[in-house]
Every structure is written in C-alpha cells, then in structure tokens.
C-alpha cells in the first residue's frame, strides 16, 4: 500500500513539473552584435611645421683669362716708343664649400588614400642659415700660391612642390617616396673684392620619408630630401693692374705694364636635407561598414 502511494505521488510531481515547463517561454539564442572596427583614413588636407639640418655643397668652376700690354715711353714728351700686347694663358677657377646649417619652415598638402596606397601633393617653404667661407683657386685643392679670392656662400631660403606616393603597412604608419620642383636663393660675395653674385633658381628634388599617426588628427614624420638647384648666378668680372717702371729699360725711358684679367664662373648648389615634422590633418578616422 505504501509503495502504491509513493509511486502515485512521484507520478503526480513529474506531471506537474512538465506542465509548468510547458508554460515557460522558449529561450532564444542570438549572436552578440558586431562592433564595427575604427580604421584610420589619411585622406584630406593637412598643415604642419618642420625643423632639420642640411649639408649643402657649393662648387664654383670657371676660367681666368687676360691680356698684358707692355708700352715703352721716352720720358721727355712723353713719346710712345713701342707697345706690345700679349694674351695670357687660361687658368681654371676652382672653389669648393660645405654650406651646412639648420633649417626650419612649414608645409601643407592633400592626401588621397586608396586601400593601402596613398597619393598626395605637398608644398613647403624653408628658412635657412646654411653658410660657408672658402677659397676660389686656380688648382684643385687650393695648394699654396693658387688662391685668387675668398668667397662667402649662403643659402637664404628654399622651397619645394612635390608629389608623394606611399604604402601603408598598417593603417597608422605611412612609408612614402617624394619628388618634384625645388627652388631657392643662394647668395655669394668676395669680401675683399667688389664682387658678389647669386640668384633665385629652380631645380629638382627627390627623397623619402616615414609618417606615423599619433591620434585622429596629428601625425609626426621624418624625411630626407636631395635637392639640386643647378648653376647659381653665372658671373663675369674684370680687374686691371698698371705698373710704371721709371728709367726702364734704360735711363730716359719708362715702361708701363697694363694687365687685365677676366674671370667667368658659375656656382652649382646641391643639398642633402634631413628634417622632422608634425602635421595636423583636417578630418578623422572612419568607421568600417562591416
């Protein structure tokens, strides 16, 4: 009897539990929502500044030619007795100077990003204290006795307008190559002579760099450029010296020697530029659509 009662109670409990479970709502399992990843987009305008150091090279080359006239006068009168003009040999003009110094300026540009590739345009303007003093001589290396005059060189300013092509190994690091137009003003003078030359010239530049984004707008970069401004301020100058030797070649006669020297030269300027910069980009990261 007890066994029958216990079995009946157990059966009733199972039936009640099943009925309650049937009344509960079914549990629905769903996937967690996908959070779109935020990726960095380099597209847009930017401005910035930079500082650096440059190792410039000024190479002055040309020729020195001239004539020498020897005239003999009878002292009484005076009366010209003879006059002979002789062409002097041509001597090379050679000058080399390391025009080094600090630079600083600003840049602005625009980037277009296409996947992991970037295309851009950038322009900059730089102030410079690159300067040097060196001799201009008639022999390479300026051995003793070959110096003609001392020249001061200074790169006053320069600028570039370049294209950029880059690759993004990660979304916030850019490796790029760059090249285009370069322009600048080199001035030079010989402080002991009434001689100066220089001009604003256009040339070319090529280089490479790396840029890294540090937040949504700011990035830092390190860049190397090679710049060639070509020949700066071709110049021609003449100098005349006159000596009068009394009682030469014999008493009662004078010998007057007139030497005229003419120099023609150009200065070619190239530069190696290393600079660090910071940019502010107008824009921000974009949200991926997946």
| Arithmetic mean of pLDDT, 89-111 | 95
In a 10 Å sphere around its CB, with 0-12 CB exposed, 13-18 middle and 19+ buried, how is residue 232 labelled?
buried
**Backbone dihedral angles phi then psi of residue 8, each to the nearest 5 degrees:** -65, -40
CATH class of 41-287: mainly beta
> pLDDT tens digits, residue range 230-249?
998 777 778 788 898 888 88
Distant-in-sequence, close-in-space partners of 33: CB < 8 Å, separation ≥ 6: none
Q: How many CA atoms lie within 13 A of 83 on its CB side?
A: 6
> pLDDT tens digits, residue range 143-194?
988 888 899 999 999 999 999 999 999 999 999 999 999 999 999 988 887 7
State the pLDDT confidence band at 27, using cuts at 50, 70 and 90.
low
- The pLDDT value given to residue 9: 41
| Arithmetic mean of pLDDT, 32-52 | 82
**What does the alpha-carbon distance between residue 141 and residue 150 come to, in Å, rounded to a whole number?**
14
Average pLDDT, the chain: 86
The token pair that represents 83 in the structure block: 């006059």
- Residue 37, pLDDT above cutoff 60: no
């Amino acid at each position: 009897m007890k066994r029958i009662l216990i079995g009946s109670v157990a059966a009733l409990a199972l039936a009640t539990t099943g009925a309650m479970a049937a009344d509960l709502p079914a549990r629905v399992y769903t996937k967690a929502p996908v959070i779109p990843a935020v990726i960095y987009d380099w597209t847009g305008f930017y401005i910035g500044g930079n500082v650096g150091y440059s190792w410039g090279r000024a190479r002055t080359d040309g020729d020195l030619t001239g004539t020498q006239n020897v005239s003999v006068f009878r002292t009484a009168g005076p009366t010209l007795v003879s006059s002979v003009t002789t062409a002097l040999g041509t001597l090379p003009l050679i000058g080399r100077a390391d025009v080094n110094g600090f630079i600083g300026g600003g840049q602005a540009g625009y980037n277009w990003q296409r996947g992991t590739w970037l295309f851009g345009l950038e322009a900059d303007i730089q102030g410079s204290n690159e300067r040097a003093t060196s001799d201009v001589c008639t022999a390479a290396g300026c051995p003793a006795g070959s110096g003609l005059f001392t020249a001061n060189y200074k790169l006053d300013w320069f600028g570039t307008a370049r294209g950029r092509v880059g690759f993004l190994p990660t979304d916030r690091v850019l490796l790029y190559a760059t090249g285009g137009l370069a322009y600048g003003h080199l001035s030079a003078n010989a402080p002991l002579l009434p001689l100066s030359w220089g001009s604003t010239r256009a040339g070319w530049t090529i280089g490479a760099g790396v840029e890294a984004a540090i937040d949504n707008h700011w990035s830092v970069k390190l860049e190397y450029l090679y710049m060639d401004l070509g020949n700066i301020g071709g110049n021609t100058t003449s100098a005349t010296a006159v000596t009068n030797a009394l009682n030469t070649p014999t008493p009662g006669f004078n010998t007057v020697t007139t030497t005229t020297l003419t120099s023609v030269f150009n200065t070619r300027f190239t530069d190696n530029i290393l600079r660090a910069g910071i940019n502010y980009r107008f824009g921000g990261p974009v949200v991926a659509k997946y």
